[in-house]
Amino acid sequence: MTRTPVGEIRPSQLLWTYGPEALIDLPNLSVVTMGIDRWERDRCQPIQEARLLANVRSVLGPQVESLRMPPLGDRDVVDPFSAAALVGVPVKPFPRWLRCVKCGLLSPFDAGLFKLKENRYRPELTRFVHEGCRGSSNDQRPKDADAVPARFLMACRAGHLDDFPWHWFVHGGPSGCRGTLRFFESGASLQTENLWVKCDSCGAAKNMAQGFGQAGRDNLPACRGRHPHIDRFVDDCVEDPRAILLGATNGWFPVTLSVLAIPQTGSPLAQLIGDGWTFFEDVDSADEVGFVVKTLKKTAQLPGIENAARQSG
């Protein structure tokens, strides 16, 4: 997969607003933050905080190896085409469906109808275009027109996030029709009631209001259990999916765990004992200390003990 910088966000935004599977509504693109298995591990500094790690493991499980910082890019990279300019948190376009602002063409970004226009000097200007667009009546001089995210998505209460099922929705269910779809407005305001999608080939059309509320329950397929940030589908979701709008503030919430970190006072050993105090508090002889240390080394329950406690082991 090729990599293109698409913009910048602050590290704190990664924690509170744009963590894995959150949508980032950039000026010209909408992207989803990929799961941490796609992040460049070597660019992510480890955080030595044994108590926090223990807390996280108690919630997520023992598979959590370490805590790490987000990858930090160098803001002063001179060459925008260098490898250093590509350091960052991986994202991919989501929703995959885009709409041409001129002719209303509605299609996935990777179906060959839209093209990515990179801007390495100003990544935030990177966008998709409908190449050689001839307007909604197909009678204008060919000219590239901007393509923007189709602002409808589907989500369920189990936390799945999917593209809006445009083909299914327009055709009233599964259909063999392979026509291109078009998005258009009727009426003066951009209320959902005035937004329509239509199939170029068979003429089927549907009003977007039909995707919401009770009508939505009748017009949308079952949840596919999609997690776009890890490219995975689970097939046993029983929740009803609902249409949601891109940019809705109730789309993603962080789960946070915190500890009060007391800065090291120069003695790594004292720090280690402090971090692992629950293991040491009932010890009442030197022999017992040796035993606890041995056990901790074997079970790797206190990161750092393997280096710090040679003399007692």
Specify the residue, 77 or 148, whose C-beta has the smaller distance to Zn ion. Answer: 148
Specify the residue, 170 or 296, whose C-beta has the smaller distance to Zn ion. Answer: 170
At its nearest, how many Å lie between Zn ion and the CB of residue 221? 11
Pairwise CA distance, residues 88 & 221, whole Å = 36
Specify the residue, 129 or 305, whose C-beta has the smaller distance to Zn ion. Answer: 129
At its nearest, how many Å lie between Zn ion and the CB of residue 240? 9
At its nearest, how many Å lie between Zn ion and the CB of residue 223? 3
Contacts 24+ apart (CB under 8 A), 272-280: 272/50, 272/302, 272/304, 272/305, 272/308, 272/309, 275/50, 275/51, 275/302, 275/304, 276/50, 276/301, 276/302, 276/305
Tell me 208's DSSP state. Answer: G
Do the strands 105-108 and 127-133 form a parallel or antiparallel pair, or are they unpaired?
unpaired
Q: Residue 183 burial (CB < 10 Å; 0-12/13-18/19+)? A: buried
Task: Could you list the beta-strand ranges (E) of the chain.
Answer: 23-25, 30-33, 46-47, 67-68, 91-93, 97-100, 105-108, 114-117, 127-133, 143-149, 152-155, 161-163, 181-185, 195-199, 205-207, 226-227, 232-233, 242-245
Bridge partners (DSSP) listed for residue 145: 130
At its nearest, how many Å lie between Zn ion and the CB of residue 125? 19
DSSP-derived 3-state class of residue 103: coil
At its nearest, how many Å lie between Zn ion and the CB of residue 205? 10
Q: Are 13 and 25 in contact (CB under 8 A)?
A: no
CA max distance for the chain: 90
Specify the residue, 172 or 313, whose C-beta has the smaller distance to Zn ion. Answer: 172
The label of the residue with tokens 């060459």 reads 79
At its nearest, how many Å lie between Zn ion and the CB of residue 236? 9
List of residues contacting Zn ion (CB under 5 A): 100, 102-103, 105, 130, 133, 145, 156, 158, 160, 177, 179, 199, 201-202, 223, 225, 237, 239
Specify the residue, 53 or 223, whose C-beta has the smaller distance to Zn ion. Answer: 223
Specify the residue, 99 or 293, whose C-beta has the smaller distance to Zn ion. Answer: 99
At its nearest, how many Å lie between Zn ion and the CB of residue 219? 15
Tell me the one-letter amino acid at 285.
S
DSSP-derived 3-state class of residue 46: strand
At its nearest, how many Å lie between Zn ion and the CB of residue 61? 22
Specify the residue, 203 or 313, whose C-beta has the smaller distance to Zn ion. Answer: 203
